[in-house]
Amino acid sequence: MKTLTINCSKQYEIAIGSGILYKAGRCISKVLPACKICIVSDENVRALYGGEQSAIYQSLLSAGFDVYEYTFTPGEDHKSLETAGEILDLLANSRFSREDALLALGGGVTGDLTGFAAATYMRGIRFVQIPTTLLACVDASVGGKTGVNLRAGKNLAGAFWQPELVLTDTDVFTTLTEDLWQDGLSEMVKAGMIGDPSLLRDLADGDIRTMTGDALTDLILKALAVKARIVEKDERETGVRRLLNFGHTAGHAIETCSGYEISHGRAVAAGMLIESAAAEHKGWASKGNAELLGNLLAKLGFDVSELLTQAGSIGAAVLAETAKGDKKAHGDTIILVYPMRPGLCKMHELPVDDLEDFFRSGL
Ligand SMILES: NC(=O)c1ccc[n+]([C@@H]2O[C@H](COP(=O)([O-])OP(=O)(O)OC[C@H]3O[C@@H](n4cnc5c(N)ncnc54)[C@H](O)[C@@H]3O)[C@@H](O)[C@H]2O)c1
Ligand SMILES: [Zn+2]
């Protein structure tokens, strides 16, 4: 097991390794005294890693916790105020106090939802994250952004609320589908482009899907270290944290316009390519990064030409119109992130009216 400490408004540890679900109770009892704890998971994750006979449930019982469970229907549609309300009602009906806690066992949907419930129940109780997707592990579980979707858009209601501890058992990745691997991989490529070129080399050198032990743990820690450094500098996203949006302006628009047919990871992969190519075309960065990214993504199993064709068929005008509705647009301008070289990205404030032209030059 290896650890990384996050130092923001709260200090907490991320622990990663094989078999952690069996030791989770003991690890959690170091940061939380025995209390009521409610494991939140979706039905898929509960079937795989939760339930009363599971390693996590039993290890919490052994450590003296009074364990409750809440299970919801999988999917982004259920990252909602309704689901959060059900969690809050369960806590209230089970007489959870401010000393009790929540535990998110699942992907980013579960983590965001559970964190939001933790941030709001009695004005804030403690929670632990156990991410089970690669994306949740390298991205969503760290940094304290929690929230739910509103009918008007994704993540429109939320709070910054940091966990007490993040535990990742790398054994849970054995059940990830190819789509789920690609969702995580594109965020790892993003992390490498923003802050660590050696992460990009490591990703290219071996297939993460077949890695185990320290090789896998170290690779994940590299991606986490990039996010940790940024979040520590700018917890509330008023400055450098916006670098984490690299690929996401075009990416979110592609995801939305495809009716979510194109997964988040693939859409962000296409978004990184488009934003890099456009920045090169505009002369903001020297040439080569888009090509390097394209080669790496292809090596990692992304169908790059298909992705760009799909984005092209949506078209720059529709993508720009969709991106303008995104909450990353601040009034008349939008911050775009682009690579200067692997490991170094910059931000550029662009008038929203120029977005269509920007996307067109990247497509
Ligand atoms: N808070 C943040 O900083 C942040 C950052 C990035 C993304 N997010 C959020 O994360 C969400 C996406 O995360 P996600 O892709 O993990 O979504 P998710 O939680 O819906 O998980 C995706 C699917 O994988 C299944 N699953 C989870 N673990 C599994 C496993 N080990 N094996 C097999 N199947 C498994 C789930 O049941 C679900 O069907 C979005 O809502 C996004 O907004 C948040
Ligand atoms: Zn993302």
Contacts of 217 (CB under 8 A, 6+ apart): 2, 16, 17, 170
- From the candidates 36, 126, 222, 264, which is the catalytic residue? 264
What share of the chain has pLDDT > 90, as a percent?
Answer: 93
**How much is the average pLDDT of 24-48?**
97
Average model confidence (pLDDT) for the chain? Answer: 95
Q: Would you say 220 and 167 are in contact if contact means Cβ atoms under 8 Å apart? A: no
What share of the chain has pLDDT > 70, as a percent?
Answer: 99
Paired residues of 147 in beta bridges: 158
**How much is the average pLDDT of 103-126?**
98
Total number of residues shown for the chain: 363
- What does the pLDDT read at residue 221? 97
**How much is the average pLDDT of 342-363?**
94
Q: Is 237 a catalytic residue?
A: yes
**Residue 120 three-state SS:** helix
- What does the pLDDT read at residue 331? 75
**Residue 329 three-state SS:** strand
**159 burial type by CB count under 10 A (0-12 exposed, 13-18 middle, 19+ buried):** middle
Q: Is 7 a catalytic residue?
A: no
- What does the pLDDT read at residue 326? 72
Nearest CA to ligand 1 atom 27: 107
Which of the listed residues 20, 44, 49, 182 should we mutate to test ligand 1's pocket, taking the one with most ligand atoms within 8 A of CB? 44
pLDDT in tens, 287-311: 999 999 999 999 999 999 999 999 9
Q: Would you say 43 and 36 are in contact if contact means Cβ atoms under 8 Å apart? A: no
**How much is the average pLDDT of 242-259?**
94
- The string of DSSP codes covering 192-237 is HHHH-HHHHHHHHHS-GGG--HHHHHHHHHHHHHHHHHHHHH-TTS
Degrees to nearest 5, angle at CA 138 with 299 and 61: 135
- What does the pLDDT read at residue 152? 83
Torsion of CA 218, 189, 208, 301, to 10 degrees: -170
Within 10 angstroms of residue 288's Cβ, the number of other Cβ atoms is 13
Q: Would you say 294 and 273 are in contact if contact means Cβ atoms under 8 Å apart? A: yes
- What does the pLDDT read at residue 133? 98
With a 6 Å cutoff on the Cβ, whether 155 touches ligand 1 is yes
179-362 and 2-176 share a CATH fold:
no
**CA 221 to CA 15: how far, in whole Å?**
9
- The H or E element that residue 55 is part of is helix 55-62
- What does the pLDDT read at residue 189? 98
Cα-to-centroid distance, 248 and ligand 2 (Å): 7
- The DSSP bridge pattern shows strands 101-106 and 126-131 to be parallel
Write down the domain spans for the chain.
2-176, 179-362
- What does the pLDDT read at residue 128? 98
Q: Would you say 138 and 227 are in contact if contact means Cβ atoms under 8 Å apart? A: yes
pLDDT in tens, 179-203: 999 999 999 999 999 999 999 999 9
- What does the pLDDT read at residue 134? 97
Atom of ligand 1 nearest to the CA of 183: 15
- What does the pLDDT read at residue 330? 62
CATH number of 2-176: 3.40.50.1970
Atom of ligand 1 nearest to the CA of 79: 41
With a 6 Å cutoff on the Cβ, whether 140 touches ligand 1 is yes
pLDDT in tens, 134-165: 999 999 999 999 999 998 888 899 999 999 99
The model's confidence at residue 328, banded by pLDDT at 50, 70 and 90, is: low
Q: Would you say 84 and 150 are in contact if contact means Cβ atoms under 8 Å apart? A: no
Determine the topology of domain 179-362 in CATH: Dehydroquinate synthase-like, alpha domain (1.20.1090)
Contacts of 165 (CB under 8 A, 6+ apart): 12, 13, 14, 15, 27, 28, 31, 32, 128, 129
The model's confidence at residue 329, banded by pLDDT at 50, 70 and 90, is: low
Strand order in the sheet with 333-341: 329-330, 333-341, 344-351
Handedness of CA 182, 185, 189, 191 (dihedral sign): positive
Nearest CA to ligand 1 atom 24: 107
Helices (H) and strands (E) in the chain, counts: 15, 12
Nearest CA to ligand 1 atom 5: 140
**How much is the average pLDDT of 215-221?**
96
Degrees to nearest 5, angle at CA 159 with 142 and 326: 90
